[in-house]
Amino acid sequence: MTRFTPAELEAARDRLVPDVVAGGLRVLFCGINPGLMTAATGHHFARPGNRFWPVLHLSGFTSRQLKPAEQAELLSYGLGITSVVARATARADELSAEEYREGGRLLAEKVVRLRPRWLAVVGVTAYRAAFGERGAAVGPQERVFGDTRVWVLPNPSGLNAHWTVATMAEEFARLRAAAGDEG
């Protein structure tokens, strides 16, 4: 993996990272917003220690553990990645409530257009902030966007230590079972 200096990472602040999407996906995973490592590399969930890629594999969504640079391969599994807020920051707490709400509005439009079977928001706090669902918990939600159902997953960041790789993989696997296993 490429090593970046603090200055190179800081230069990635506010960059946009292209979505990995297509119409009719089984699951569209949605992160909070790109971190600086993601923005510097152009690959989602790129920070070392982020558990998204290992959990995706352990839950059975992918046949092997993909690297962030292989993110385009997700489409062959009927999977994609987007973000609630497009701009890169060092920490999610740098985002304003308005950015979350606007991100939620734009995400809803994207989901209606792309029509994935499931939208999987990785991070209950992001889901609550984006959609005003203060009581939301991890798991399937009542909310739908067109025909797309919503599932909230635990945030795979290493900072979310009360979820282990194993317990996250169990929750991701629950979604995989609900989404169908034709991947």
Secondary structure of the chain in the HEC alphabet? CCCCCHHHHHHCCCCECCCECCCCCCEEEEECCCCHHHHHHCCCCCCCCCCHHHHHHHCCCCCCCCCHHHHHHHHHHCEEEEECCCECCCCHHHCCHHHHHHHHHHHHHHHHHHCCCEEEEECHHHHHHHHCCCCCCCEEEEEEECCEEEEEECCCCCCCCCCCHHHHHHHHHHHHHHHCCCC
Question: Would residue 162 show up in a list of annotated catalytic residues for this protein?
Answer: no
Q: Which of 43, 44, 50, 155 is catalytic?
A: 44
Question: Would residue 160 show up in a list of annotated catalytic residues for this protein?
Answer: no
Q: Which of 33, 43, 50, 155 is catalytic?
A: 33
Show which residues are catalytic.
33, 44
